[in-house]
Amino acid sequence: MNKFVPFMPKKYSALIMEIDEVVEEAFVLFVNGVIIQCFINFCPFKIEIGKTYEVEFELVLPDSIDMEVSQDEYIGVEMEDDNFSCVLAGY
């Protein structure tokens, strides 16, 4: 019998590098040596550039998504143009 195990998010320490001037929920974070562009869903206090906060990540996918089998072993995420769309790659 398969038993459902709920996802338990891991907490990370994130340095706030940038807050978008137009989209106030859009941030650039530095986490474990990686620069991450993302949206902040909820925060009960003011967030400041240069400060470090404990964060959790959640991947949200649209209802309609284009997927195809990767032909190589590349693993990564690449932003498309100057918008919030990205390509996720893995095998």
Q: pLDDT of 31-65, one tens digit each?
A: 999 999 899 888 888 999 999 999 998 877 778 87
pTM of the model: 0.71
pLDDT of amino acid 18 = 97
Nearest to residue 54, comparing CAs of 13, 17, 16? 13
CA separation for the pair 11, 28 (Å, rounded): 17
| Residue 73 exposure: Cα atoms within 13 Å on the Cβ side | 0
pLDDT, one tens digit per residue, over 62-77 is 788 777 887 888 888 8
Contacts of 51 (CB under 8 A, 6+ apart): 15, 16
* C-beta separation of 87 from 77 below 8 A: yes
